[in-house]
Amino acid sequence: MNSPLSYKDAGVDIDAGDALVERIKPLARRTMRDGVMAGIGGFGALFEVPKRYREPVLVSGTDGVGTKLKLAFALRRHDTVGIDLVAMSVNDILVQGAEPLFFLDYFACGKLDVDTAAAVIGGIAQGCEQAGCALIGGETAEMPGMYPAGEYDLAGFAVGVVERTGIIDGRSIAPGDAIIGLASSGAHSNGYSLVRRVIERAYGALDAPQVYEDFHGQQLADAVLAPTRIYVRAVRAVLAQLKVKGLAHITGGGLVENVPRALPAGVQAVLHRDAWPMPPLFSWLQREGGVLEAEMHRVFNCGIGMTMVVASADVAAALACLKTNGERAWRIGEIVECPPGAPPTIVV
């Protein structure tokens, strides 16, 4: 007679899952904010929309980290990809003027390693603290046979709120307006299939000794895994002071495909390549990969993680506010009338 089987025999360790929940509870508690009615532990989390909003409109977003995770696996660094996960969603909803309220995560793996998962979720909690939103719930899925040993996948979900009259939709953007660029912290979470290919071409392997050598004052490993910058606090400080006509989060598609998403018909964004410094990481990727300039602007943020459109008269005030709130930013272009048949964004 066969011996009785348990869930653990099938590859799912319920005790490990319970241990993870206990590890992350204090991390989630650090992110709590006004509005949280019930968080981690229940079947569903409860959140009350802040009463200061007269006509609240909810804004939601979801994203992952993509193949940047492959680098995290190879370099055995798991403490920053959670920040990436939060950043990709909260920056997306920010561009419509939303205040991020809460975040939920989905962590999936073949076999749960509590230490690795706790490091990842610790990064998620850190990202939520930076964004001012609550880590209100999530899901950890242990699915034997679905993922290679030592690997996992992540998805994140953010919900924010904006006053109906404060929604940023780009409709007021007009020729003569200025474009401000906010510095990125690196490649953020886009273009990593190409990043990995360049590293492998240059050094033969993602974890080659050279990635731990000095690279402009840090390891190349640190440069390529630098977490996506979260712009929430600085941008919301600008929103409180002056009219922002449009915002664009520079993600997949780079500058030339994301800036147009914030523009109305009939205008063109002209970006001046010499208006901001190209970070060393992008210069290295372009050189080692032989990547064409046009391809760089289609794939990477090239040093600009978010763009902001304001009236020319408001540029100085916006730049001063961003600097006060810890952001490096530059006037990188202007809005002009779009010539017939011309692309909505050009880099000159």
Instruction: Give me the pLDDT at residue 200, please.
Output: 96
Specify the pTM.
0.93
Q: Is the pLDDT of residue 27 over 90?
A: no
Instruction: Give me the pLDDT at residue 201, please.
Output: 95
Q: Is the pLDDT of residue 15 over 80?
A: no
Instruction: Give me the pLDDT at residue 9, please.
Output: 64
Confidence of residue 14 (pLDDT cuts 50, 70, 90): confident
What are the DSSP calls for 9-75, one per residue?
TTT--HHHHHHHHHHHHHHHHTT--TTEEE-TTSSS-EEPPPTT-SSEEEEEEEE--TTHHHHHHHH
Identity of the amino acid at 261:
R
Tokens standing for residue 243:
């009219």
From residue 73, alpha-carbon distances to 68, 78, 127, 302, 333 in Å are 9, 8, 20, 25, 38
Contact between 136 and 39 under an 8 Å Cβ cutoff? The reply is yes
Identity of the amino acid at 226:
A
Instruction: Give me the pLDDT at residue 261, please.
Output: 93
Instruction: Give me the pLDDT at residue 174, please.
Output: 96
From residue 149, alpha-carbon distances to 58, 167, 271 in Å are 39, 44, 45
Backbone φ and ψ of 98, nearest 5°: -80, 145
From residue 346, alpha-carbon distances to 49, 116, 158, 250, 335 in Å are 40, 43, 31, 15, 11
Average pLDDT over residues 205-220: 94
Q: Note the pLDDT tens digit of each residue in 216-250.
A: 999 999 999 999 999 999 999 999 999 999 999 99
The residues facing 137 across adjacent strands are 104
Boundaries of CATH 3.30.1330.10 in the chain? 14-166
Tokens standing for residue 122:
């610790």
Instruction: Give me the pLDDT at residue 138, please.
Output: 87
Coil, strand or helix at 242: coil
Distance of CA 117 to the CA centre of its chain: 19
Q: Is the pLDDT of residue 134 over 80?
A: yes
CATH superfamily ID and name for 14-166: PurM-like, N-terminal domain (3.30.1330.10)
Instruction: Give me the pLDDT at residue 337, please.
Output: 95
Boundaries of CATH 3.90.650.10 in the chain? 178-347
Confidence of residue 31 (pLDDT cuts 50, 70, 90): confident
> Per CATH, the architecture of 178-347 is what?
Alpha-Beta Complex (3.90)
Instruction: Give me the pLDDT at residue 85, please.
Output: 97
Backbone φ and ψ of 19, nearest 5°: -65, -40
Confidence of residue 156 (pLDDT cuts 50, 70, 90): very high
Q: Note the pLDDT tens digit of each residue in 266-291.
A: 999 999 999 999 999 999 999 999 99
- Could you give the percent of the chain with pLDDT greater than 70? 97
Instruction: Give me the pLDDT at residue 65, please.
Output: 96
- Mean of per-residue pLDDT scores for the chain: 93
Query: What is the C-alpha to C-alpha distance for residues 79 and 326, in angstroms, rounded to an integer?
Result: 23
Query: What is the C-alpha to C-alpha distance for residues 223 and 216, in angstroms, rounded to an integer?
Result: 9
Q: Is the pLDDT of residue 1 over 70?
A: no
Confidence of residue 257 (pLDDT cuts 50, 70, 90): very high
Instruction: Give me the pLDDT at residue 39, please.
Output: 67
Average pLDDT over residues 195-204: 96
